[in-house]
Structure 1
Amino acid sequence: MVKTSIRNKLIVLLLLVTIVPFGSAIFVTYIYTKESLNDQAIQTNLNLLYQGKVNIEGYLSELNNHTLSIYRNVDFMKHLKISPFPYDYLAQRVISNMLLTILYADDDIQRVSLSGIESTSLVTASRRSSVAYFENVIDPNQENNLVAKVSPYNLYIKSNPQSKEKGLTSFTLHRSIVNVPSSEVLGFISLEVVPRKVGQLSKHLYDEGKEEFYIFTPEGNVVYSSQYGVKTENAFEPWGQKLLEASELSGSIIWNDENFHGVIVYETISPHLGGWMLVKRLPYHTLHESAYGVAMINIVFGVIGIFIAVLATLFVSYKITSPIRILVKNIRQVEKGNMQAKFQSLGSDEIGVLGERFKIMMERINKLIDREYKLELENKTNQLKVLQSQINPHFLYNTLQSIGTMALKSKNKEVYSALTDLSQIMRYGMNTDEGVVSLVKEVNYIKAYLLLQRQRFSDDFEYILDVEEDVLDVKVPKMTLQPIIENYFKHGFHANDGVGKLTIECKRKESTLLIKIRDNGTGVSEERLCDIVHHLNAEHNRGREDTNIGLKNVYVRLKLYYSNKATFELQNLDEGGFLVTMKLPLEIGGSRDEGNHR
């Protein structure tokens, strides 16, 4: 009783009404905030990487301009066209001055190298030594020069993995020297650079300890890493490989593996400046940090709101249900037989009115008990009279059987046959256990009925019973055909007007059972037919129940069993007579059994 009390239901309902919206609002707000901040953080970091790309491109562009400055030195280009390694003092001085000018143009440039097209001679200028000339040596930049030769108008930047300090890797810029305006390559110039400026520019692009930042060459080598200890070569981890294979120059990808769960954003530097890729890895816990803060604020206020709602719920529920409990207590007293239960006023609201009406009702009940007792005695007396007037059906069957036996002994087969048909009709009609029967039972029943009518009217009556075998097992409501046939003998058949004919057809038509009952009787007038149809369709027919009760009964029962899936049509025939047509579904919906509801 406690578990199903109104008070508990009301408490649960009010708590659901308050907790579910609060909880849903917190959850939806958190999800929306998390997604919004996630998208905002990605876009912010893309913008930040773009600005970093612009800054680094500007720095690389300065270094690139140093390599291009040789084209402005006419003497240098003239001697280089003759031989990149002249032996006269004047030519060597021009080349040395050019290399030293480039070397000291930027503090990050540590070495400048000039090599010929054959890569057997080399000129270097470094901050540790003066200009040095080497002949018949293997150029350490030979492979890099070949790559630069493929794209003579672009920089080729190669990281130096053997030179690494605090996440910084030195790199070398390689450029082909072209004999413009032709495309002839005269030699190669290389600038070895320490990434001090690159490190300074990169530190503004990530939050150390929360985010990871890398700079990759197009080959996958690491130029800069915010994580110490990262390999500078073969940085082809799955996520790095995916970025290098990306067709877009900038964008973001979602990455989840055992080492990282989050978003990776990237930006690519122009190919003519080396094509570096700036990569930033943003873990989910960093991206969603702001969302967690917002969620916690919502949760705190939500808990406070829920606590207040719970207190209000308990107060309201107890205030509402207390009068109801008093009323229930008095009702239990009435159940125990105390019909004079008294209680104080339950208030002036609806529950108070209910209590007052309850007391008035108890007074009326006390007055009605005496009258009900008298009515009960009278009812019992009437029931006894009905029982005394009833005849046991088994007694009737036994009596008919005895009469049939006497008819056989008297060799009167017609009387015996009539008694057998009558017995079958009575047994079928008195069996109230079945509301739905197979069509074959209904056909056998009307066959016995028609045989009795045939014996009654002799040659003045004929009938045709045309039933297809494939519909004999179809279920139909009991007593569907007999009331219609009986209606013919009551209203349409007159022995003095000639031979009466009755035709019953039962056959399958598509997915329905088609039943036609046709006679050659007097039929009805059109006005009378309309009146009958109106009588069938009317909901209430008080005062009309003595007419067409058979048709009305059949029509109502068809609607009961088949709803609007069955049709019932009445029609006057042109040649005289009357036609009743029924179309019934082959299956009765709901398995309704009328016999169980009588």
Structure 2
Amino acid sequence: MKSRKPFNTIRNKLMLLLLAATILPIATSMIISYNATTGSITEEAIAKNNRLLSLGKTNIMNYMSNINQKSLAVYNSMNVPRSLYYILERSLEDEVFPNDLTDVINNRNLLKDHLYSIYQSVSEFNKVRLYVVKQNATYLLWNDDIKVGENDKDTLAATVKKASIEPTHQSHNYGLNIKFGDVNDEMVFTLHRPIFRAPSEELLAELSIDVRLTVLEDLNRQLYDGGKEDFYIVDANGQIVLASNKEEIGSKIDQTWMNGIYSSSEDSGHFDWAEQSFEGMIFYDRIKTPYMDWYLVKQTPYSHLYSAADRVARINIWVGAAFLAIVVIATLFISFTFTKPLLRLIGYVNKIETGNLNVSIDIQSNDEIGLLARRFRSMMQTINNLILTEYRLEIANKTNQLKALQAQVNPHFLYNALQSIGTVSLQHGDHKAYGLITSLGKMMRYHMNTMDSVVELNRELEYAQAYLDLQKQRFDTALGIRLQIDDQTRRILVPKMILQPLLENFFKHGFAGADSPSELTIASSLSDDGRLLTIRVQDNGIGISDERLAELRYGLDKPPPHGVVNSQTQSPLPSSSSASVAVSSQEAGGIGLQNVLSRLRLHFHPSAAIELEQVRPHGFSVTIHIPLGEGE
């Protein structure tokens, strides 16, 4: 006896089934829950970050608009004497720069008052610088101290033509060789505003305001999670105005993902990014005004974005592990409890296998296994009683098989015998008998070939000709045969034995008798596009009534009888005793029109059809339409 494979035991199968029934639902639930959670978190994160960046954009625009308005204070009270614009327009400064720089500026206090007013208007202003083009002089205000110096000759070329924001940089003295008291240089961004003589474009001066980053940092601190997300404000040239990592402020951003933001046709949006340095989602929004072009960019790593989903997944894993442990314990208990009596029953079977059919099977449980043991005892008693009977039946079966072999006749022997008879007839000059035997031999050979279910139309025509030759001899009458065969159709494959039922029914139901001349026409044609084969069998027999014609047409429209699908099977079919070419009778066991139609539709296409028509003044016609190129 072969040993049982460990994994084929009921115990192992039961354990695997219970484990699969537990693990698969839990794992599927975890996967679905995780995907649903991450999807929901992603959608929520996109909406949330779009709102945050939009809010940050609004706050920054309001703040920068306020700074811009303060810089426009130069144009206030343009025609009022002692205003800043009035002083610049009329060149009231008489500042000169002697070698010892000791002369006093007549309007310095007034100029200082104007610059100090701008300086005090916003607490984050670090320095205010006024460059006067005509005198090539720079006035620099820091805290309460104002310094004056002469600029280099190239300073005029460096002035701006319109208001603009210089990205964050280290605070400096604009090239002046001067020194304030206790200067604490810090990172600032600068608003540069040219001052023109209205309404011309003559440049009078340039006002520069250094702004500390404190308010800008406060406005954007709520837009990201410090230490988990990165935040940038970057200008159109890639200079970092503000960053969550302060060491990057003032430098040029060196990130390939920034090119995607610059090339985007949208001013705001988001996209996924995955590379060695960062994997997550990037959100951005653009601030574009006449004097600034900034981008607010926020990087959210997947690890932070999906942290809540990961926590849920870990909880699910621990819950699943706990349930799995319970299932394993329960499975072991159930498998051992249920399989123990089965193992005992297997032991009894092993004894029976040795030939001891009188083993006492002692399993008294009331469950299915106990019922199986009782039925097994009953079965063994029945087997003991049937063994002798089985031997006798086997001997009788062998005897019947021998008799069946003795009763078989080889059809090839009959065909060869016909050939021998035909040869003898030819030797004695009986050419008519030889021809009939040859026709019969062709029919037998055609019938004997059971391998082909479809044949060329030419072979079907040859069989029909042999059949007609025998029928002409049988009825001893003049029978006119007209073949109107298109040569293009001879090589086309058609189901075997589709013409013989039609011809047989002519002699059976439409033949008028030996005293009346008969004519039978077999025609075939191919449509112009080569996709439809038409075969027509027409006679001049006794015809058919209109009522019977309607019945036949109705029968062809109905589904075929059960089992009428094989060209080699002769199944009972409805009768058409009054038609010249109709369905064979059930008693005759022939293959009728409905069988032919069923085989055509099986081999070719459901659109195959058979058309029945009366021939006037008398006769009947059957036309077969076979679509080509659509079936096997």
TM-score normalised to structure 2 length: 0.73
Task: Tell me what 2:625 maps to.
Answer: 583
Structure 2 residue 587 is the aligned partner of structure 1 residue 547: yes
Q: Deviations over 1:325-344 (max 9, x none)?
A: 88999999999988888867
> Any residues of structure 2 matched to 1:165-180 within 5 Å, and which?
169-177=187-195
Q: Distance in 1 between matches of 2:474 and 2:403?
A: 35
**C-alpha contact 1:144 1:158 (8 A) present in aligned 2:** no
Q: Deviations over 1:497-555 (max 9, x none)?
A: 31122222233345344332222223444566667775995559699875352244x74
Sort the Cα spacing of 1:438 and 1:131 in 2 relative to 1 into closer, same or farther, 3 A: closer
Structure 2 residue 25 is the aligned partner of structure 1 residue 26: no
Q: Deviations over 1:376-396 (max 9, x none)?
A: 766766666665565554554
> Any residues of structure 2 matched to 1:44-59 within 5 Å, and which?
44-53=48-57, 56=60
Q: How far did 1:462 drift?
A: 2.2
**C-alpha contact 1:264 1:281 (8 A) present in aligned 2:** yes
Q: How far did 1:6 drift?
A: 7.1
Q: Which has the higher helix share?
A: 1
**C-alpha contact 2:195 2:205 (8 A) present in aligned 1:** yes
Q: Distance in 1 between matches of 2:525 and 2:184?
A: 97
Task: Tell me what 1:82 maps to.
Answer: 90
Greater RCO, CA 8 A, separation 6+: 1
> Any residues of structure 2 matched to 1:197-596 within 5 Å, and which?
197-199=215-217, 201-230=219-248, 232-235=250-253, 237-243=255-261, 250-268=268-286, 271=289, 274-308=292-326, 391-509=409-527, 510-525=530-545, 538-539=561-562, 547-552=587-592, 555-556=594-595, 559-560=598-599, 562-563=601-602, 564-586=606-628
Q: Distance in 2 between matches of 1:12 and 1:170?
A: 69
Task: Tell me the SS of whatever aligns to 1:294.
Answer: helix
Q: What percent identity do the matched residue pairs reach?
A: 35
Task: Tell me the SS of whatever aligns to 1:300.
Answer: helix
Q: Distance in 1 between matches of 2:532 and 2:377?
A: 59
**C-alpha contact 1:109 1:192 (8 A) present in aligned 2:** yes
Q: How far did 1:270 drift?
A: 6.5
Q: Distance in 2 between matches of 1:45 and 1:393?
A: 89
Q: Distance in 2 between matches of 1:289 and 1:176?
A: 50
Sort the Cα spacing of 1:12 and 1:565 in 2 relative to 1 into closer, same or farther, 3 A: farther
Sort the Cα spacing of 1:319 and 1:132 in 2 relative to 1 into closer, same or farther, 3 A: same
Shifted more, 357-366 versus 409-418: the winner is 357-366
Q: How far did 1:277 drift?
A: 4.0
Q: Distance in 1 between matches of 2:349 and 2:298?
A: 75
Shifted more, 537-546 versus 557-566: the winner is 537-546
Task: Tell me what 1:596 maps to.
Answer: none
Gaps of 5+ in 1: 591-598
Task: Tell me the SS of whatever aligns to 1:131.
Answer: strand
Q: Distance in 2 between matches of 1:334 and 1:514?
A: 70
**C-alpha contact 1:463 1:502 (8 A) present in aligned 2:** yes
CA RMSD of aligned residues (A): 4.8
Amino acid at match of 2:169: N
**C-alpha contact 1:22 1:306 (8 A) present in aligned 2:** no
- Which residue, 129, 146, 155 being the options, matches 1:131? 146
Amino acid at match of 1:506: S
Q: Distance in 1 between matches of 2:185 and 2:149?
A: 33
**C-alpha contact 1:161 1:233 (8 A) present in aligned 2:** no
Q: How far did 1:576 drift?
A: 2.0
- Which residue, 15, 38, 41 being the options, matches 2:42? 38
**C-alpha contact 1:159 1:169 (8 A) present in aligned 2:** yes
Q: Distance in 1 between matches of 2:39 and 2:281?
A: 13
**May I ask how many residue pairs the two structures share in their alignment?**
582
Amino acid at match of 1:146: V
Q: Distance in 2 between matches of 1:166 and 1:349?
A: 93
**C-alpha contact 1:111 1:192 (8 A) present in aligned 2:** yes
**C-alpha contact 2:572 2:586 (8 A) present in aligned 1:** no
Q: Distance in 1 between matches of 2:40 and 2:320?
A: 21
Amino acid at match of 2:45: A
Amino acid at match of 2:317: I
Q: How far did 1:361 drift?
A: 7.5
Task: Tell me the SS of whatever aligns to 2:426.
Answer: helix
**C-alpha contact 2:613 2:621 (8 A) present in aligned 1:** yes
Q: Deviations over 1:131-152 (max 9, x none)?
A: 34445x33786456423xx24x
Q: How far did 1:450 drift?
A: 1.9
Task: Tell me the SS of whatever aligns to 1:115.
Answer: strand
Q: Distance in 2 between matches of 1:583 and 1:327?
A: 67
Task: Tell me what 1:192 maps to.
Answer: 210
Task: Tell me what 2:169 maps to.
Answer: 160
**C-alpha contact 2:170 2:185 (8 A) present in aligned 1:** no
Q: Distance in 1 between matches of 2:619 and 2:333?
A: 78
Sort the Cα spacing of 1:430 and 1:114 in 2 relative to 1 into closer, same or farther, 3 A: closer
Q: How far did 1:293 drift?
A: 1.9
**C-alpha contact 2:160 2:193 (8 A) present in aligned 1:** no
Q: Deviations over 1:82-101 (max 9, x none)?
A: 21514696633322333344
Q: Distance in 1 between matches of 2:236 and 2:478?
A: 112
